[in-house]
């Protein structure tokens, strides 16, 4: 249907539709875009088959876990563009601030079917479960935020990139087709349905309970598909040729800065990879494909097959053992979470990392890993270091609270890595220190440069 691979489609019941209804409902829960959206097009196909209308729901609950003003503003910035693109196809999009159970119960009462996105994080799975408990029509789940659906790639948790790589590289081309889009014969635009005015995001924010101390970063990063596409276009035209040589350089960064858009579902990874494919077989395009296809999808494999992906118990046995053995090692420096959050440590590079992530919501990957490794070195226990790292990561980064976040934070502690030479505090976990940072990058230049590139 609509050029959508069947591996993306999961019926959460015995059928995809019931015999009676007035419309099809698409609950846009994780893919906040109208472009290259497999779930949307599947819902369009159902509506066409029933000669019915389609409604799109965006639900913001009164209490948003792991969301603050930064994340919500970034999300709300994307909605007017999405709503207009849907309206151009005769599809009404409504945004509601209400418990998900109420929204779904009310809107599925007269629906032929409901379609929604595939969740990976526990909190998103919980939202889906609450919706399923009250849904009054069949529900279908569509995977649209991965290139290869996680269960099609592997039936178990993969140990590392090297074990997942051959599985996805052999089959990924089967999943790159663009879903067919069309304008619906029956418009839902004239339907009278309750929704919020998304043109006044500040007013909308007042209806939601969230952490308000973290300021939006709209001056540096604007939400939405068009902003993501512009960033991708600039990268492909200006930076791709230098990607392999410069992606690890914080001072001359040839990177996409798409992680926040991928995290929020504002751009489809299949679309990004399709664009990259045009530049193969260059080593730069191959290196970028590796990051998008192997590394990113390894993180989703990890959270999908690991119930407690936010705990150190998710680490491989060797990493847990070595961290336990070195838990009581003397730390050369010890800082409280408050001192670290204030950027008040002895390390100028680390303080700059902390201050930049607080201001911009983004940090180059090499510096992000250095930042994380020092938290492990400075906290009294690995467990508290892990909790602190997750707290900062999910609070300040625009791409926080994402499968990649949980996997990459645990990489600091040994996930998807190998054992290294044993040393104090880190044990056999890969270390990073200030002297090594100075050898690898021009630290003085980095400290002076404007991060708002």
Beta-carbon contacts of 398 under 8 Å, excluding residues fewer than 6 positions away, are 70, 71, 74, 217, 221, 259, 260, 263, 264, 361, 362
Q: What is the DSSP string of 273-309?
A: HHHHHTTTTSHHHHHHHIIIIIIHHHHHHHHHT-TTT
Contact 260, 365 (CB under 8 A): no
Contact 67, 298 (CB under 8 A): no
Pick the closest to residue 273 from 178, 179, 150 (CA basis).
178
- Give the integer Cα–Cα distance in Å for 298 and 94: 34
Q: What is the structure's pLDDT at 1?
A: 66
Options 1.10.3720.10, 1.20.1270.360, 1.10.579.10, 1.10.1030.10; which CATH number does 312-448 get?
1.10.579.10
Q: CB neighbours (10 Å) of residue 338?
A: 8
* DSSP state letter for 259: H
Q: What is the structure's pLDDT at 414?
A: 98
Query: Which uninterrupted H or E stretch holds 53?
Result: strand 53-60
Helix pair angle (365-378, 403-411), 10° resolution: 60
What backbone torsions phi and psi does residue 90 show, to the nearest 5 degrees?
80, 30
Q: CB neighbours (10 Å) of residue 5?
A: 16
Q: CB neighbours (10 Å) of residue 341?
A: 16
Query: Which uninterrupted H or E stretch holds 373?
Result: helix 365-378
Pairing of strands 139-142, 9-11: antiparallel
Tell whether the torsion through CA atoms of 109, 114, 117 and 120 is positive or negative.
Answer: positive
Q: What is the structure's pLDDT at 453?
A: 52
Task: Pinpoint the residues of the chain covered by CATH 1.10.579.10.
Answer: 312-448
Query: Which uninterrupted H or E stretch holds 227?
Result: helix 225-234
Summarize pLDDT for 189-228 with one digit per residue, the tens. Answer: 999 998 888 887 777 888 887 777 899 998 899 999 999 9
Task: Pinpoint the residues of the chain covered by CATH 3.40.50.620.
Answer: 6-145
What's the helix, strand, coil split of the chain in %, to 5? Answer: 50, 10, 40
Q: What is the structure's pLDDT at 169?
A: 96
Pick the closest to residue 69 from 208, 197, 195 (CA basis).
208
Options 3.40.50.300, 1.25.40.80, 3.30.565.10, 1.10.10.10; which CATH number does 150-178+224-305 get?
1.25.40.80
Beta-carbon contacts of 109 under 8 Å, excluding residues fewer than 6 positions away, are 136
Tell whether the torsion through CA atoms of 159, 161, 162 and 168 is positive or negative.
Answer: positive
Helix pair angle (122-134, 100-108), 10° resolution: 40
- Starting at the edge strand that comes first in sequence, how are the strands of the sheet with 9-11 ordered? 9-11, 139-142, 111-117, 23-27, 53-60, 92-97
Digit-by-digit pLDDT tens for the chain (453 residues) are 678 999 999 999 888 899 999 999 999 999 999 999 999 999 999 999 999 999 999 999 877 778 888 999 999 999 999 999 999 999 999 999 999 999 999 999 999 999 999 999 999 999 999 999 999 999 999 999 999 999 999 999 999 999 999 999 999 999 999 999 999 999 999 999 988 888 877 778 888 877 778 999 988 999 999 999 999 999 999 999 999 999 989 998 899 999 999 999 999 999 999 999 999 899 999 999 999 999 999 999 999 999 999 999 999 999 999 999 999 999 999 999 999 999 999 999 999 999 999 999 999 999 999 999 999 999 999 999 999 999 999 999 999 999 999 999 999 999 999 999 999 999 999 999 999 999 999 999 999 987 765
Helix, strand, or coil here: 32? Answer: coil
Contact 200, 53 (CB under 8 A): no
b/e string for 387-408 if b means 16 or more Cβ within 10 A? bbbbebbbbbbbbbbbbbbbbb
What class, spelled out in words, does domain 6-145 have in CATH? Answer: alpha beta
Beta-carbon contacts of 137 under 8 Å, excluding residues fewer than 6 positions away, are 17, 18, 21, 25, 108, 111, 112, 113, 114
Task: Classify residue 233 by burial, with Cβ atoms within 10 Å: 0-12, 13-18, 19+.
Answer: exposed
Task: Pinpoint the residues of the chain covered by CATH 1.25.40.80.
Answer: 150-178+224-305
Tell whether the torsion through CA atoms of 197, 201, 206 and 208 is positive or negative.
Answer: positive
In angstroms, what CA-CA distances link 91 with 79, 98, 264, 329?
14, 21, 21, 61
């Amino acid at each position: 249907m609509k050029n959508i691979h069947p591996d993306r489609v999961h019926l959460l019941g015995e059928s995809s539709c019931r015999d009676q209804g007035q419309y099809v409902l698409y609950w846009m829960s994780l893919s906040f875009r109208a472009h290259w959206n497999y779930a949307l097009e599947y819902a369009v196909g159902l509506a066409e088959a029933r000669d019915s209308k389609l409604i799109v729901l965006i639900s913001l609950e009164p209490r948003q876990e792991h969301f603050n003003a930064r994340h919500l503003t970034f999300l709300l910035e994307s909605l007017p563009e999405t709503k207009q693109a849907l309206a151009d196809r005769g599809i009404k999009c409504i945004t509601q601030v209400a418990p998900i159970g109420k929204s779904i119960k009310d809107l599925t009462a007269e629906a032929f079917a409901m379609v929604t996105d595939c969740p990976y994080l526990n909190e998103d799975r919980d939202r889906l479960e609450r919706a399923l408990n009250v849904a009054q029509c069949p529900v279908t789940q569509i995977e649209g935020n991965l290139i290869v659906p996680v269960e099609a790639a592997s039936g178990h948790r993969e140990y590392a990139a090297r074990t997942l790589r051959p599985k996805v590289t052999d089959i990924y081309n089967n999943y790159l087709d663009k879903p067919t889009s069309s304008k619906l014969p029956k418009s839902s635009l004239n339907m009278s349905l309750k929704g919020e005015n998304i043109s006044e995001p500040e007013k909308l924010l007042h209806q939601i309970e969230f952490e308000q101390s973290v300021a939006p970063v709209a001056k540096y990063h604007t939400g939405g598909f068009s902003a993501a596409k512009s960033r991708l276009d600039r990268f492909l035209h200006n930076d791709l040729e230098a990607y392999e040589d410069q992606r690890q350089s914080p001072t001359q960064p040839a990177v996409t800065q798409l992680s926040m858009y991928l995290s929020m579902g504002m751009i489809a990874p299949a679309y990004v990879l399709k664009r990259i494919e045009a530049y193969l077989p260059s080593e730069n395009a191959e290196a970028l494909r590796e990051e998008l296809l192997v590394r990113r999808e390894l993180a989703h494999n990890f959270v999908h097959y690991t119930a407690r992906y936010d705990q150190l118990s998710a680490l491989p046995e060797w990493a847990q053992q070595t961290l336990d053995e070195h838990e009581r090692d003397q730390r050369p420096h010890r800082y409280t979470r408050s001192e670290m959050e204030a950027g008040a440590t002895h390390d100028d590079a680390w303080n700059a990392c902390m201050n930049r992530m607080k201001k911009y919501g983004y940090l180059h990957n090499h510096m992000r890993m250095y930042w994380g490794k020092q938290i492990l070195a400075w906290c009294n226990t690995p467990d508290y270091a892990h909790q602190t790292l997750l707290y900062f990561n999910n609070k300040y980064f625009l791409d926080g609270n994402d499968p990649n976040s949980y996997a990459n934070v645990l990489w600091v502690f040994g996930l998807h890595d190998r054992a290294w030479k044993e040393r104090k505090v880190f044990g056999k976990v890969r270390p990073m220190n200030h002297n090594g940072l100075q050898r690898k990058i021009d630290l003085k230049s980095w400290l002076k440069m404007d991060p708002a590139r």
